[in-house]
Structure 1
Amino acid sequence: MTYDLSPPLDDAELDALHAAAFGGSPLGAPWRERLERHSLFWIAATLNGDLVGFVNVIGDGGVHAFLLDTCVAPDLQGRGIGASLVRRAAAEARRRGCHWLHADYEPHLVEFYERGCGMRPTAAGLLRLI
C-alpha cells in the first residue's frame, strides 16, 4: 500500500471509488478542480497502481480542519486503510498548524471514527438545503 499527499488524481478513477464506497453511481464530478480550489490537502492510497482509498481535508483558514469523503474500496474495507488515511490526515493537519480535526459521521461509522481513529463525539447540527 502506498499513501501519497495531494497527488494528481484522475477524475473518473476518484469518482468510481467514491461511488463504490458510498453505494452510488459515478456522477462525473470534477474532482481535480474541486480539490485544487477548496482543499488544504488530500491523501490517496494506492495498491498496485490502483486508487483504493482517499480522504480530503479542507480548512477554515485558521486552526480547524475538516475530513471529507473518507473512502476505501469496498473489497478492502476493514483492513486499516481508512484509519491510516485519517491518521495521516491528522498528522499533516497538525504539521500545518491546525488544532482541531472535525468529521461528521453517521451512527454506523461510530466504531470506525471513534474507536479506530480516536475521535470523540461532539454535538453538531445539520440543515438539509435540497
Structure 2
Amino acid sequence: MMHRLNHGFTLIEVLIFIVVSSMLMTTLLLGSNFALQNSPSLHQQWVANEVARSCMDWFLQQKKMKGYDTYACPTTPATTNCIKPVGYTVTASIACKTWNTDTNYKTITVNVTGLSSTSLSTQVGNY
C-alpha cells in the first residue's frame, strides 16, 4: 500500500489563514486610523505645553536675576517676552501664598489658550 505524502495546504486551511489575517489587519488599521486622526491635536497640545514651559522659565529667570520682589502680588504681568505662536494666547498671573503664617511665597501661573489649552503653575519663595 502506498502512502500519499501531503506537501501543501488544504483549501480550508488557506481560507482560515485569510480570515484570521484579515481580522488582524483590520484591528491594526483601525488603531492606525485612530492615531492619525488624533495626531494633530497631540501636536497642538505639545506646542501649548512648550509655550507654557518657556514662558514659565522666563518668569523664573526674571525672579532669579532681579529678586523675589520683581513682581507684585497679586498681579497680572505682561507676557510680551513669551513666545506666542500663531493661534495661541498666553496670559500669566501671580498670587500671594501663605504657608503656616509664612507669607514669603508666590504662585506664578501661566495659561495658554488657542488651538489647545494648558495651564502651568509653580510656587517661589523669598529665600
Which band: TM-score by shorter chain? under 0.3
Q: Find the structure with the greater CA-based Rg.
A: 2
TM-score (norm 2): 0.26
Normalising by structure 1, report the TM-score.
0.25
Report which of the two has the higher share of helix. 2
